[in-house]
Amino acid sequence: MGEFDLIRRYLEPVARSQTHTGLLLAPGDDCAIQRLLPDQDLVFSIDTLVESVHFPRGYRADYVAWRALATAASDLAAMGADPVCFTLALTIPDDDEAWLQAFAAGLKDAARTFALALAGGDTTRGPLTVSVQVHGTVPAGMALRRSGACPGDLIVVSGTLGDAAAALACLHTDAPCADEQALLARYHHPEPRLALGQSLRGVASAAIDISDGLGADLQHLLNASGVGAVVDLSRLPLSGPLQRCRPGEARQLAWSGGDDYELCATIPEARWQRLDASVRTQLTVIGQVQAGTGLSFRGGVPEPAAGAGYDHFRRQVS
């Protein structure tokens, strides 16, 4: 199968299955065309997944596709963007048809779920690597940023934390119990909080998605905003499966574990009080922004090195 057969057979059907009115020209030409509306900002970001670095060798192809699109879409969620389209740079070792079929199925599923239309891409042979560039839009000036948190703002997180990190321990379990299956689902099928991010436009003073771990990602937000914070570790939202499977380490995993793709945001207290209950119930207050630059804790302290996050070139972020 040639490169163009591969694109026609496996990727063009994905492009046809999920379209967007803003995407005027999808795969087939030298470039895709996106029509930009006045008074909108284009927000875009690229993410790469490499086999053996971001997912295990032999990892299911449909999971690879879902995770590639989900992690990229999570960056759009963090900016409060409306998803539009994505490009896909796919490097594969061979043209294994069963693998491609599963990959295309996972990609189609994710594209529909996140409302992202496939705009084009590049296909090459080499070590398995998947890069996804996503495009989204926000009303001009309304994108959420990491900077903007002010002393007094409440720190909130969405969903529950630590599940995906706990799943790493049972990735190779032969017959996972129901709780382990729930944890594994969080790792295999992350669900970027796109709708929540959109509803935080004009509400949150700053936001970030939690990919490396709350400790590391909150620190990025605080650094960008030039502020400090107090965090109550006893308030971190923990799922039932996490508390039952890892009772001794649940809080630690929630603080330092990555791959959850929840949102962390700061919200001025007055806006939090007025916030629609349907949005508020998706969030848990875990602390408050403070003047200065330090991070202090209530309800326990993180273990040494926890919250360090993952850095490809240093391994430990200071």
Q: How many residues bind ligand ADP (CB under 6 A)?
A: 13
CB of 34 to ligand ADP, least distance (A): 13
The listed partner (ligand ADP, Mg ion, none) that binds 90, CB under 5 to 8 Å by sort, is ligand ADP
- Residue 74 corresponds to which tokens in the numbers above? 């999570």
Site string for ligand ADP, 102-131 (x = CB under 6 A): ----------------x-xxxx--------
Between residues 6 and 115, which has the closer beta carbon with respect to ligand ADP? 6
CB of 232 to ligand ADP, least distance (A): 45
The listed partner (ligand ADP, Mg ion, none) that binds 276, CB under 5 to 8 Å by sort, is none
Q: What DSSP string describes the chain?
A: --HHHHIIIIIHHHHHHS--TTEEE-BTBSS-EEPPPTTEEEEEEEEEEEBTTTB-TT--HHHHHHHHHHHHHHHHHHHTPEEEEEEEEEEESS--HHHHHHHHHHHHHHHHHTT-EEEEEEEEESS-EEEEEEEEEEETT----SS---TTPEEEEES--SHHHHHGGGTT-SS--HHHHHHHHHHHS----HHHHHHTTTT-SEEEEESS-HHHHHHHHHHHHT-EEEEEGGGS---HHHHHH-TTTHHHHHHH-----EEEEEE-HHHHHHS-HHHHTTEEEEEEEESSS-EEEESS-PPTTTT---BTTTBS--
Considering only 7, 204, 265, 286, the residue that binds ligand ADP (CB under 6 A) is 7
Between residues 27 and 106, which has the closer beta carbon with respect to ligand ADP? 27
CB of 7 to ligand ADP, least distance (A): 5
CB of 86 to ligand ADP, least distance (A): 9
Give me the sign of the Cα torsion angle 203, 208, 213, 219.
negative
Restricted to residues 54-113, the positions that interact with ligand ADP (CB under 6 A) are 88, 90
Between residues 19 and 296, which has the closer beta carbon with respect to ligand ADP? 19
Q: How far is CA 189 from each of CA 29, 131, 211, 254, 260, rounded to the nearest angstrom?
A: 32, 18, 14, 18, 10
Considering only 2, 30, 39, 276, the residue that binds Mg ion (CB under 5 A) is 30
**Do 306 and 297 contact (CB within 8 A), yes or no?**
no
Which residues lie across from 263 on neighbouring strands? 209
CB of 29 to Mg ion, least distance (A): 8
Between residues 28 and 127, which has the closer beta carbon with respect to ligand ADP? 28
CB of 133 to Mg ion, least distance (A): 17
Between residues 96 and 122, which has the closer beta carbon with respect to Mg ion? 122
Q: Which stretch binds Mg ion (CB under 5 A): 23-31, 90-98, 208-216, 260-268?
A: 23-31
Burial label for 285, CB within 10 Å (0-12, 13-18, 19+), is middle
The listed partner (Mg ion, ligand ADP, none) that binds 7, CB under 5 to 8 Å by sort, is ligand ADP
Q: How many residues bind Mg ion (CB under 5 A)?
A: 1
The listed partner (Mg ion, ligand ADP, none) that binds 202, CB under 5 to 8 Å by sort, is none
CB of 27 to ligand ADP, least distance (A): 4
Q: Which stretch binds ligand ADP (CB under 6 A): 26-34, 72-80, 168-176, 252-260?
A: 26-34
Which spans of this chain sit near ligand ADP (rule: CB under 6 A)? 7, 11, 27-30, 88, 90, 118, 120-123
